[in-house]
Structure 1
Amino acid sequence: MAGLVILAAAMTSPDAEEALRLAPSSNWHVNYADDSCRLARAFGTGDKEVTLVLDRFRPGPKVHMTLTGQPIEVRDGIRRITLRFGPNDPAFEKGVTPGMLGNGKAALVVGGGLWITGYDPAVAAGESDAAQPEPPVIDPALYAAIRFLELRISSKQTVVLETGAMAAAEQALAACTDDLLRGWGIDAEADKSLSRRAAPLGSPGDWIRGSDYPPRMSHLGYQGLVHFRLIVDDQGKPKSCHIQQSTRPKDFDDAVCRKVMVRARFEPALDAGGRPVVSYYTNSARFATPVAR
């Protein structure tokens, strides 16, 4: 799944003295939405509080991460973060988009999908989901072994979120995504036995081009991240486009669906017997202004 981008440091142990360790200050909360499943938990309190949000837009182990709170507030020039779900998984870097919530809290949107555990760090660091194939079914014991999430941002104090075991949280997300498919009119069990998933013909990067950047948004310097879902018919044509989540403004949402519905074509999904069937495809498009140098 190739993430669409439209343009108009060494790891230390979380036991190091400079790390800010934050214990949970809430339970895990799972939100069942029409187009996504959200797992969220707060760590720390007051001006040290950080909220971890993991969104899943389709079945499988990948999640999209957002972090909010003063300890992760960064300068506009910061575009990378180093993550580690410890103690057994290795560290990897990801691109980030800084922002601000309506309540004034700083936010970091981590670019692309990522795995909570069971990843190859070289693959996990990729910005294009096309280079990040879904891994085999991940052993639940790996989720159970997680104890913390370490966050390293250049020129910032290391932050360690003491997540504890994440097996139950992952099970809740998996149950939610099965429910998502039923809401889309897709048989969740049949989906698990597909012999081929809907596969783009050509590069998804060609679906949305620089000239598609909404002029008003480009003029204002606005950036946007749009997660979208297509229902793909048994001939490989998109039947509908749905915005699963977006940073808004709506100009970006409209641009994505309008262009993708015209340009996207697929090899249709095949059921266990090799017959073409209706399925779905999810991806994201990021509208970003070039970073000044």
Structure 2
Amino acid sequence: MIKRVACYAVVGASALVAATPAIGAPLQPLKPWVLDVGEAQCTATREFGKAEDPVTLVIRPAPNGETYELILMRHQVGSSKYASQYPGSVDFGGTPIKVQSLKFRPKDQRLTQHHFRISQTEMQQAKQAPLVTFRSEGLLATSLALRNMPAVLEGLTNCTADLMRYWNTDGVNVGTVAVPSKSDVRTLFTTDDYPMEAFARNQQGTAQFLLLIDTDGKVAACHVVKASGVPSLDGMGCQALRQRATFKPALDRHGKPVRSTYTTPPVSWRLEG
């Protein structure tokens, strides 16, 4: 059964390959940047292009600051709700940063999302860049005019630092956490979790995740802190952890449950045979 699925996926992927669309003039900003200081993540968002059909760029840093996820959201006719992966790049005007892009449409949403993950060092190129160009093989070629990037990146850095204090990331050292949260996440994954997209492409990798644990022991959010290089593996890892992981919540010195974070052991995806 697994072999039949893999063969079907490979054939389907080959049949759908098309030339990447040509890049037009850079889309101009429609509104100012919006910095969202959420309870579980920090994001900077801005709309570009035409008011009746905007393209939205979301910048989302990992809590440890090592990677940034760039998300391009747009209306796209005929887009599937299932995730698919394509060779892509992010270009701030120098050498294009080659990445694997992930495309999907979340359930009950009309906007298709294209995800690109780059390193913190690569993201720093945006500070002085006049524009950024996203490419995804056969699907996407879009340039956006950038503005105010030094302030945006500084705001995200400050927001992330506040977020980690809120979730007591350093709680054991500063005394806000006496007993860390506990769980055995190694038993959560099964062979059925291996994404068909990665299986078809014979892709493997190892990722690590930071989980935000609330006072009930539930996973409030999952962040990729060490990416595998294969977006579908990272996405499935977080999905499984959010849906299945349960914890004994962290306790303060009075025995009261408190918010906390948990860094998973490395999660490795391997193909055998």
Which TM-score tier does this pair reach, normalised by the shorter chain?
0.5 to 0.7
2-structure distance, mates of 1:208, 1:29: 37
Aligned partner of 2:211 in structure 1 is 229
CA RMSD of aligned residues (A): 4.5
Q: 2:86 aligned to 80, 98, 119, which one?
A: 80
In 2, the alpha carbon distance for the partners of 1:148 and 1:67 equals 14
| Equivalent residue runs for 1:128-147 within 5 Å | 142-147=125-130
Match of 1:179 in 2: 162
Greater RCO structure (CA 8 Å; 6+ sep): 1
Residues 105-163 of structure 1: per-residue CA shift (max 9 Å, x gap) = x322426x423x634xxxxxxxxxxxxxxxxxx8x6x4422222212233346210112
Aligned partners of 2:261 and 2:49: how far apart in 1? 41
CA distance in 1, matches of 2:69, 2:77: 17
1:256 corresponds in structure 2 to 244
In 2, Cα distance between the equivalents of 1:187 and 1:29?
A: 28
Using the alignment, how far apart are the partners of 1:87 and 1:282 within structure 2? 36
Q: State the partner residue of 2:255.
A: none
The SS at the match of 1:87 is coil
Deviations 1:157-200 (A, max 9, x none): 62101123521111000000111112112459x79xxxxxxxxx
Q: Compared with structure 1, are the counterparts of its residues 85 and 154 closer, same or farther at alpha carbon in structure 2 (3 Å cutoff)? A: closer
Q: 2:24 aligns to what? A: 19
| C-alpha distance in structure 2 between counterparts of 1:284 and 1:164, whole Å | 37
- 1:40 aligned partner, one-letter code: T
In the TM superposition, what is the alpha-carbon distance from 1:255 to its structure 2 partner?
Answer: 3.3
Alignment of 1:33-44 (within 5 A): 33-44=38-49
TM-score after normalising by structure 2: 0.56
Offset from partner CA, 1:54-109 (integer Å, 9 cap, x none): 223413142223221136975668521522231135331213131157452x3224
Unaligned runs of 5+ in 2: 1-5, 7-16, 175-184, 195-208, 224-234, 249-259, 268-273
3-state SS of the aligned residue for 1:69? strand
Within the alignment, does 1:93 sit opposite 2:86 as a pair? no
Q: For residues 24-61 of structure 1, give each alpha carbon's deviation from its aligned partner in whole angstroms, at most 9, with x where no partner exists.
A: 11111111111110111111114542101122341314
Equivalent residues of 1:29, 1:39 under 8 A apart: yes
Aligned 1:268-287 pairs, distance under 5 A: 280-281=262-263
Question: Percentage identity across aligned positions?
Answer: 17
Contact preservation (8 Å) 1:149, 1:161: yes
**TM-score, structure 1 length as denominator?**
0.52
Are the equivalent residues in 2 in contact too, given 1:89–1:118 (CA < 8 A)?
no
Aligned to 1:210: 191
Determine the C-alpha separation between the residues in 1 that align with 2:128 and 2:212.
35
Letter in structure 2 aligned against 1:39: A
2:191 maps to a residue whose letter is G
Rounded Cα–Cα distance in structure 1 between residues aligned with 2:265 and 2:71: 17
- The alpha-carbon distance between structure 1 residues 21 and 254, as it changes in their structure 2 partners (threshold 3 A), is closer
* Structure 1: unaligned runs, 5 residues or longer: 1-6, 120-137, 192-203, 214-226, 232-238, 263-277, 286-293
